[in-house]
Structure 1
Amino acid sequence: MTICPGCSRSHHCFRHHDLNHLVPMGLRIFKSCVCSCVYEERQRKKKRSSYEKRTNASLKSFGYDIGKQIGVGAYSTVHEAYSPTQQRVAVKIIDKRKLVASSLRILSKYFDQEMQIQSKLDDVNIIKLFDTMEVGSKLYIFMELAEGGDLLEFINTHGLISETRSKRLFRELCMAVYHCHINLIAHRDLKCENVLLSKDMKVKLSDFGFACYCHKMSETYCGSAAYSAPEIIQEKPYNPMLSDSWSLGVILFTMVSATMPFEETNLNRLVTNQLRRNWHFPRHAIKILSEEVMELVADILEPDAKLRPSVTQIIESRWLSPSAVRKTTASSTAKNEV
C-alpha cells in the first residue's frame, strides 16, 4: 500500500515490477506509478468525451449546435446554441444520471407538465419554447435566448433599479403573469432568478417547472422560501394565483431597494415576520422612493391571502396605472432634489 499522489488516498499502486501483470490488462506504465483510482478516472473521462461527441453528432444531425455554457443548476446546465435556422437560442440540458430514482420520477412528472403548459403560453414577456429532445440520459430544452441575464444578476451588478425603470420592468412582469392567470395557469416559482432580460432590457419570464393549472386549491410546497407566501410555508392549501401575487411583491421590493424583505435562514422566523409584517425598506431606498410604490409593496405583502390583491389589481394600482405616472415621477424628482 502507498499514498496515491493523484487522490492522496491509500491504494495498491502499480510499479514497474508489476509490468508483466499490468501489460495484459492494457494499463500504461508511467515513470512514477499509476494507482487504480487514477486509471479509472482517466477511463471515465474517455467515456464521457466519447459520449459527448456522439451526443453532439446526434444534435447536429437535427441542425442544433451547442455553444458555451451560460448557467448551471443542481442537475442541469444552460448553454448558448444555434437552431437549424442558425438562430441563437438557449438550451437547458438536464442530466438524468445525476438524479436518484425518486427525483427522476418527480422530474418526469413536472417536465411533462412544464412542456405542456409552456407550449400553451404565447406572450412577448414569456420565454418562448422552441423544441425538446431526449438523447441518451439527457433532456434538451431549446428556448428563446435572453442575452441580458437574469434580474438578480442585474441587481447584484448595478444595485437597486431606478423607480422609473422598475415601473416598466415590473409592469412587463405583471403582464406576463396576467397572461398566465387568464389561461388558468400559476407560475408558483416567481423569483428574480426566473425573470430574464433580453438584450434591449425587456422582461422574459422563464422556468415553468412548478407551474400548475388553477382548477383547485394547491397543496404542493414549491418555490423558494424567501419568495413564498406565508400560507405555503405553513403548508396550508393555497390559491396559487394569490401566492404568485406575494412573490411579485417580494420581487418589486428587491428591485427598488436591492435587498430582500425576508431572510430564509430560519423558516419559523420567516413566517413569523411575514405574518407580523415585520419588514421595512432600507433607509437609502426610503429617501428616493415614492409613496405609491411603497404602498403597493405593502398591499401585496398582505399575509391574509383573501385580502391580497390579484395581479389584475396590481396592474391597476396607483403606481402602475398610467394616471399615476406623472405624480410618481414628480414625487421622485422632488425627493431626489432634496
Structure 2
Amino acid sequence: MNEKTLKLTIEDEKRLEERGYKLGTQISSGSFARVFRALHNHTGPCAAKVIDLSSTSEEYRLKFLPRELYTMKKLKHPNVINILDIFAIDKKMVVIFMELAEGGDLLDLLREEGALNETRSRTFFCQFGDAIRYMHGLNFAHRDIKCENILLNRTRTIARLTDFGFARTCFDAISGYRLLSDTYCGSAAYVAPEVLKSQPYSPLKSDVWSCGIVLFVLLNNRLPFSDTDNKKLAKRQTERKYNFSRNLSTDAKELINHLLNPNPIQRPSMTDVFTMAWFINDKGG
C-alpha cells in the first residue's frame, strides 16, 4: 500500500459511486491504514481512512477494529471527527469516511509555528478536552491521546479528536463496576507510568495523563519526558523530572502538575480538570 492513490476494481469503484463517494490522493499513512482525500456528491470534501486488513493481526480484526467502529458510531460531539459512512471491500479493506480536517494535526501546527501561547493552548485544550470529558461521561476511554490524533480545521481554530483504534468501554453493565485495562496502548511518550509498568490501570485516568502531555507539548513545543527505554521513562515520570522551557503562568504550571501526577488516584478526572484556576482565571497569555 505505497501508492498515493488507492487501486480499486471497477466493481468496487461503482459501489462507492453508488453511495456518492470518490477517492482522491493520499493525505497520510500508518502501519496498516492510509488516509485519502475523498469527495461525496452531497456533503462535499471528506476524508477516507482505508484499513488494510491483510496487514493487521487477528486480535486487531476481532477486538480493536470492532471497538473502533462501535465507538465512532456512538460518539456525537462537535469536537470529535464525525463519521459519515463505513464501507467494507471484499473482506480485505475497511473504508471509514469522515470529516476532512484540512488544517492537519496539532503536531503539524507546532512544527510550523512553534510553541503556542497560553490563550491559544487553552482554546484547543477546552475543545479536545471537552470531547474527552464527553467520552468519559459515556464510559468510553480513548487510550491513544496525542498531538497527532487531534486534528484542526482549515483556519486552525477548531480542534477535533480522532483515531479511536484503542478506545474501549470502561463500564461493566452486568456488575455495574468500572473496568480496569491491562492492554498496553498508545505512544510511549504520551502514556501514563502505570501503563508503562504494565499494571492494571484506569483508562480514564490514563487519558487525563495523556492530556497533560499534550498540554505540555503545546506550551513548550517538546515532550516533558523523552527516554526511549520504557523503564527509564517510567522512572522519570514517577520522579516528576520535567522542566518548562519557557515562562508560564503559575496556573498553567499547577494544572500540568496535576495532570502529570504519577499517582492515578490523585490525578483529577476530566470534569475536575475544568474547575482548575487556569480555566477560571483566564487572563490571556
Q: TM-score normalized by structure 1?
A: 0.77
The alignment status of 1:251 with 2:210, answered yes or no, reads: no
Aligned amino acid, residue 318 of structure 1: A
The alignment status of 1:88 with 2:45, answered yes or no, reads: yes
Alignment-derived partner of residue 174 in structure 1: 129
CA contact (8 A) 1:190 1:248 kept: yes
CA contact (8 A) 2:103 2:154 kept: yes
Q: Distance in 2 between matches of 1:280 and 1:190?
A: 21
Go from structure 1 to structure 2 and tell me whether the alpha carbon gap of 1:65 and 1:207 turns closer, same or farther (over 3 Å shift): same
CA contact (8 A) 2:115 2:219 kept: yes
Aligned amino acid, residue 257 of structure 1: N
1:177-234 CA-to-partner distances (Å, cap 9, x unmatched) read: 0110111111111000000011232011001110111121111111111000000000
1:86 shift after superposition: 4.5
Alignment-derived partner of residue 126 in structure 1: 80
Structure 2 counterpart of 1:234, from 190, 194, 197? 197
How many residue pairs were aligned? Answer: 272
Alignment-derived partner of residue 174 in structure 2: none
1:112 shift after superposition: 1.1
Go from structure 1 to structure 2 and tell me whether the alpha carbon gap of 1:228 and 1:139 turns closer, same or farther (over 3 Å shift): same
1:267-297 CA-to-partner distances (Å, cap 9, x unmatched) read: 1110000010011112xx12xx211101111
CA contact (8 A) 1:96 1:104 kept: no
Alignment-derived partner of residue 75 in structure 1: 32
CA contact (8 A) 1:225 1:264 kept: no
Matches within 5 A, 1:1-338: 51-99=8-56, 103-136=57-90, 137-200=92-155, 201-215=157-171, 216-282=179-245, 285-286=246-247, 289-321=248-280, 324-326=281-283, 329=284, 332=285
Q: Which one has a bigger Cα radius of gyration? A: 1
CA contact (8 A) 1:184 1:213 kept: yes
Q: What SS does structure 2 have at the residue aligned with 1:306? A: coil
Structure 1 range deviating more: 222-231 or 260-269:
260-269
User: Hey, which bits of structure 1, 4+ residues long, moved more than 6 A?
Assistant: none
Aligned amino acid, residue 132 of structure 1: I
1:264 shift after superposition: 4.1
Q: Distance in 1 between matches of 2:41 and 2:134?
A: 29
Go from structure 1 to structure 2 and tell me whether the alpha carbon gap of 1:299 and 1:105 turns closer, same or farther (over 3 Å shift): closer
Structure 1: tracts of 5 or more residues without a match: 1-44, 333-338
Q: Distance in 1 between matches of 2:32 and 2:69?
A: 18
1:66 shift after superposition: 0.5
Q: Distance in 2 between matches of 1:68 and 1:144?
A: 16
Q: Distance in 1 between matches of 2:227 and 2:144?
A: 15
Aligned amino acid, residue 269 of structure 2: S
Q: Distance in 1 between matches of 2:263 and 2:41?
A: 49
Higher helix share: 1
